[in-house]
Structure 1
Amino acid sequence: MTAEPIDDPAEATRPDALTRALILTTLTMVTALYAMTVTIANVSLPQMQGALSATTDQIALVVTFNIIATAVATPMTGWLAARFSRRTILLWGVSGFTVASLACGLAPTLELLVVARVFQGAFGAPLVPLSQAIVMDSYPKHQQGSAMAIFGMGVVLGPVLAPTIGGYLSEVYNWRWVFFMIVPCGLAALAGVAIYIQDRSKAGSNYLDWTGFLTLAMFIAAFQFMLDQGERLDWFDSATILLCGAVAALMLYLFIAHSLTAERPFLDPKLLLDRNYAIGLLLVFVFGMLNFTPMTLLPALLQGVRGYPDSIIGVVLGARGVGTLVGFFFMFWGSKLDPRPTLAAGFALQGIAGWYMSQFSINLTTFDVLWTSALQGLGVGLVWVPLTVVSFNTLPREKTSEATAIFHLVRNFGSSIYISIAISIALNSARVNYAEMTAHARPTNEALQFQDSLFRVWSLDGAGALAGLSGEMARQAAMIGYLNSFYAFTLTSFAVLPLMLLIRLRR
């Protein structure tokens, strides 16, 4: 079916132009504040591990439980906004998020740090969906593209700027400052919300479909834990992973069955009857898969293969932010164009960037990473605005809060799934290639026998020579693993292009 646009709400219900600009500025800051925490902790994980005397598996819980808390709390956004009003939830969300960030920086033990990260994820989960819903409701249809171009900077640039600033602060001071830096930003955002966000409307309903919420929350928590810990626990050779997989499958079945039969389900499946919104969910799932994957792989590649320090890696990744800014600035004008070619161009640019990344040599230069990261960032900037406009253009206004919660839940879900897949590809490929290389490290190998006598680099004579050769083989194998992950990234980027043909627009 072809979805027809709904009538635009009366202009009398919208704030004036100056108020809209202040609301947009405030909510962009709120969004950037939360988005920073997506990647900021990753920069300092090695420092946290040493300072808190934790193992690799234990320190990974700092990231894992934050993601799980965010994923579980995000679907509650629609009900919370209807029950308590958007303004109330934003005030409590920003306040709790800021206090939790301070608690993260002050945490004396790993256990307290993990608990603080759980609260940080739970309080921060409603911020992005509610902010997007308020921005879209504040602007008429013909201005939503330009507004979302500004708002999208907070969504996408936060995770880009955070590693740059966080890497510098952690080197100059210590890991606690990556959380302390959030506190003044949180206080500024709280002041902006208190002054400029006046949306106190609420449905007033006390009803909550607890069956739907609990089954969805348990599915998300079990599946997310399985993804985050699967590689460390050797996937389905682990009883823990098998249990998580079984629980996730059962809870997903119960959630779907209940949602299709309940009179008032937790998440309304009728939203999927809107053609553009359903296609938008597929596209934002793939967008989430592609968005942060290079940012996850490149720091490990640059540090492990090339020996870059944290501060330099942060600066290099900042090139992605430059490309994203260019994309958003283009969308101030490009938002008036047919969104389908722009969407296709954005995904294609990410695919091209992924292809060139898959051609990196082991001696890649800083410039190689800079321009490919900027190209991928440009693709992100071109995708976000038309994707948002297409997905929500034909939905009724009263469904915006619930629809944005699902939209961002799907985006985060795609990110977590694909990051786990990319890391698994890289690690498994590295192990396989290292095993193949070691089979050739034998005295009969002519490459070892006929090295120039003046420049004899590799040798099997002695433990030191064997250790050096083993280290180089591990480095080469790791590089092959990263390249295979970039190949998968490229294929995913191009595979989504046919979906553009399914989008229907009013002529």
Structure 2
Amino acid sequence: MAGTLMQALDTTIANVALPYMRGSLSASQDQITWVLTSYIVAAAVMTAPVGWLAARFGKKNILLVSMMGFTVASMLCGAATDLTEIVVFRLLQGVFGAALAPLSQAVMIDLYPIEKRAQVMAIWGIGIMLGPILGPTLGGFLTDAYSWRWVFYVNVPFGIAATIGLWLVFKDTHRNDELKFDWSGFGFIALAMGALQLMLDRGNTQDWFGSTEIVIYAVLTGLGMFLFLVHMVTAEKPFLPRKMFRDRNFTSSSVVMFVVGAVLLASSALMPPYLQSLGGYTVLQTGLLLGPRGFGTIAAMLLVGKFGNKWDPRVLMSVGTACVSFSLWQMAQWTPSIAFNELLVVSIIQGFGFGMVFSPLNLVAFATLPGQFRTDGSAFANLVRNVGSAIGVSVSVMILTDSMQAIRADLTRFASPFNRGLAVNAESLYMNLQLPTGQQTLNGMIGVRAAIDAYANDFLAMAALSLVMFPLIWMMRRPSFTGAPRQEKQSLGESAPEGAVPKPAE
């Protein structure tokens, strides 16, 4: 759980520190974004082969190497003296951190019988969901109180403690020394994921398809995905088992996971600049204002952990989706003068909604999936969530930028001495419109109004996207969480063979 929380935190914890890192490392605005891009690309590429690595070398060995590598890379990131060093070290962070979340999920599912998995997935979900939510809060506090280097140093003591715990307690799992690696399948998906992440991250600064660089990334993404799908259909032993996708619950859950990743990280990425640039809050205040969302998530996780086996998980996910959609619709009505109480309530409702969706989603996804596919399934689910997060952030920034330009151009048409409505409703401003100070004041007002409406468009787009989850949720079958007796006792970290897969309740 420590490794999972650290890896999830590092997807957003560095965001609020980027302006400070830019000055310290003498980097341009375009260059400093590689601190985020390198981590995301490496994590996306290396998540895919986690299932094979665990089966070939054992879950304990991969977890230990990943934890130690992530901890050392975090320490190196904090000690970096120039842009090249921190980009390389963040790349290593992504490489070693990729296996932490999927392997921890697979191990926790293996450790407990199906009737206890609601509690287990609630605990695991707290770590994976609180990371992106609390990342800006913790990052803002550490940057404000100490320096940006501490957003990386904070991983070191927890990484050391987790490594020692794994070494002493965790027992190794079965290894298949004869397992062959599908280099073709890995090469195709690595090409697709790497090019996609680069396209999404660089697109906003390179004018999207008006840039040759982005067009090249798009072509490589399409080529990689096409070759991967053809290879998966035709290969005797493809990189990802084909039978895994015949499980309706797992396939539907993967699509919902994509949407959850997109909406969760996009909303987390939009709120800090909204509160800082429009609301006038400091970095620390922004972090504290985003904290209540985490309390809502914890409350939902605890509720699902206690009653998840008794209630229909589809109902729980529907309630959570409704909460997320409602909160995003409410956020679309916000202005910079939003009352603190309303901001607090909406944030808690949104966090509660994400928690109500995420924990039951992991229960349903793996309840009917055969045991031999769990590690691959967990890696694929985490990969889908990460890709959804990357696409969600890039699309939300694109909508924000385009909306702001369009709204500003539309409002500017009315900023004229010939507009009699302006003379009647804003007489003092109209009288000064011929002066530079009056023009600057009106220009600032137009900019603020355009930004408010652009953020509203983004929140409305995310609210509409979250509604897609409703039909997908009810395409799933309700699994049974009562009839899977354990066939043998397990020591911590040992994967016992699964018994018969419980028949889903009609």
Separation (CA, whole Å) in 2 of partners of 1:105 and 1:364: 36
Q: Give the 5 Å matches for 1:296-315.
A: 296-315=269-288
Q: 2:368 aligns with which of 360, 378, 394?
A: 394
The answer to whether the 8 A contact 1:458-1:469 is kept is: no
Q: Give the 5 Å matches for 1:281-360.
A: 281-336=254-309, 337-360=311-334
Q: Give, in angstroms, the shift of residue 369 of structure 1.
A: 2.3
Corresponding position of 1:438: 412
Separation (CA, whole Å) in 1 of partners of 2:465 and 2:280: 29
Corresponding position of 1:19: none
Q: Give, in angstroms, the shift of residue 287 of structure 1.
A: 1.4
The alignment partner of 2:91 has SS state of helix
Q: Give, in angstroms, the shift of residue 446 of structure 1.
A: 2.2
What is the CA deviation profile of residues 194-247 of structure 1, one whole-angstrom value per residue up to 9, with x for unaligned ones?
122213321223411111001100100111111111111111000000111011
Q: 2:57 aligns with which of 68, 81, 84?
A: 84
Quickly say closer, same or farther: Cα 1:395–1:451, change in 2 above 3 A: closer
What is the CA deviation profile of residues 24-43 of structure 1, one whole-angstrom value per residue up to 9, with x for unaligned ones?
xxxx2221111110110101
Corresponding position of 2:343: 369
Q: Give, in angstroms, the shift of residue 449 of structure 1.
A: 2.4
The alignment partner of 2:43 has SS state of helix
What is the CA deviation profile of residues 242-265 of structure 1, one whole-angstrom value per residue up to 9, with x for unaligned ones?
111011111110110011101111
Corresponding position of 2:194: 221
Q: Match for 2:289: what amino acid?
A: V
The answer to whether the 8 A contact 2:429-2:438 is kept is: no
Q: Give the 5 Å matches for 1:54-69.
A: 54-69=27-42
Corresponding position of 1:24: none
Q: Give, in angstroms, the shift of residue 331 of structure 1.
A: 0.8
The yes-or-no answer on 1:134 pairing with 2:107 is: yes
Corresponding position of 1:11: none
When structure 1 is superposed on structure 2, of 95-104 and 380-389 the one drifting more is: 380-389
Q: 1:476 aligns with which of 437, 440, 449?
A: 449
Q: 1:235 aligns with which of 208, 213, 217?
A: 208
Separation (CA, whole Å) in 1 of partners of 2:473 and 2:424: 56
Quickly say closer, same or farther: Cα 1:265–1:385, change in 2 above 3 A: same
Separation (CA, whole Å) in 2 of partners of 1:328 and 1:430: 37
What is the CA deviation profile of residues 102-133 of structure 1, one whole-angstrom value per residue up to 9, with x for unaligned ones?
11111000111000000001100000000000
What is the CA deviation profile of residues 324-350 of structure 1, one whole-angstrom value per residue up to 9, with x for unaligned ones?
011011112221111110111111110
**What TM-score results when the alignment is normalised by the length of structure 1?**
0.92
Q: 2:2 aligns with which of 7, 16, 29?
A: 29
Separation (CA, whole Å) in 1 of partners of 2:319 and 2:450: 33
Q: Give, in angstroms, the shift of residue 451 of structure 1.
A: 5.4
Separation (CA, whole Å) in 2 of partners of 1:391 and 1:458: 64
What is the CA deviation profile of residues 116-164 of structure 1, one whole-angstrom value per residue up to 9, with x for unaligned ones?
0000011000000000000000000100111111111110112222322
Q: Give, in angstroms, the shift of residue 461 of structure 1.
A: 2.6
Q: Give, in angstroms, the shift of residue 266 of structure 1.
A: 1.0
Aligned length: 479
Q: 1:408 aligns with which of 378, 382, 401?
A: 382
Corresponding position of 1:199: 172
Q: Give, in angstroms, the shift of residue 457 of structure 1.
A: 8.2
Separation (CA, whole Å) in 2 of partners of 1:475 and 1:167: 24
Quickly say closer, same or farther: Cα 1:458–1:485, change in 2 above 3 A: farther
**CA RMSD across the alignment:** 1.4
When structure 1 is superposed on structure 2, of 138-147 and 389-398 the one drifting more is: 389-398
Separation (CA, whole Å) in 2 of partners of 1:126 and 1:95: 12
What is the CA deviation profile of residues 9-57 of structure 1, one whole-angstrom value per residue up to 9, with x for unaligned ones?
xxxxxxxxxxxxxxxxxxx222111111011010101111111121111
The alignment partner of 1:292 has SS state of helix
Q: 2:140 aligns with which of 163, 167, 170?
A: 167
Corresponding position of 2:68: 95
Separation (CA, whole Å) in 2 of partners of 1:449 and 1:123: 62
The alignment partner of 1:43 has SS state of coil
The answer to whether the 8 A contact 1:362-1:476 is kept is: no
Separation (CA, whole Å) in 1 of partners of 2:342 and 2:395: 24
The answer to whether the 8 A contact 2:292-2:344 is kept is: yes
The yes-or-no answer on 1:485 pairing with 2:489 is: no
What is the CA deviation profile of residues 384-441 of structure 1, one whole-angstrom value per residue up to 9, with x for unaligned ones?
1211111111112121111100010001111111111111111110010111111111
**What TM-score results when the alignment is normalised by the length of structure 2?**
0.92
When structure 1 is superposed on structure 2, of 351-360 and 441-450 the one drifting more is: 441-450
What is the CA deviation profile of residues 337-389 of structure 1, one whole-angstrom value per residue up to 9, with x for unaligned ones?
11110111111110011110111134223333222111110011111121111
Q: Match for 1:364: what amino acid?
A: I
Quickly say closer, same or farther: Cα 1:458–1:177, change in 2 above 3 A: farther
The alignment partner of 2:333 has SS state of coil
Corresponding position of 1:53: 26
Separation (CA, whole Å) in 2 of partners of 1:401 and 1:367: 43
Quickly say closer, same or farther: Cα 1:468–1:266, change in 2 above 3 A: same
Separation (CA, whole Å) in 2 of partners of 1:452 and 1:303: 28
Which sections of structure 2, spanning at least 5 residues, go unmatched? Answer: 479-503
The alignment partner of 1:450 has SS state of helix
The answer to whether the 8 A contact 1:88-1:200 is kept is: no
The answer to whether the 8 A contact 2:37-2:201 is kept is: yes
Corresponding position of 1:154: 127
Separation (CA, whole Å) in 2 of partners of 1:386 and 1:71: 24
Q: Match for 2:411: what amino acid?
A: M
Corresponding position of 1:116: 89
The alignment partner of 1:199 has SS state of coil
The yes-or-no answer on 1:429 pairing with 2:403 is: yes
Corresponding position of 1:105: 78
Corresponding position of 2:496: none
User: Which consecutive aligned stretches of 4+ in structure 1 deviate over 3 angstroms post-superposition?
Assistant: 450-453, 455-459
Q: Match for 1:367: what amino acid?
A: N
Q: Match for 1:398: what amino acid?
A: Q
Q: Give, in angstroms, the shift of residue 448 of structure 1.
A: 3.5
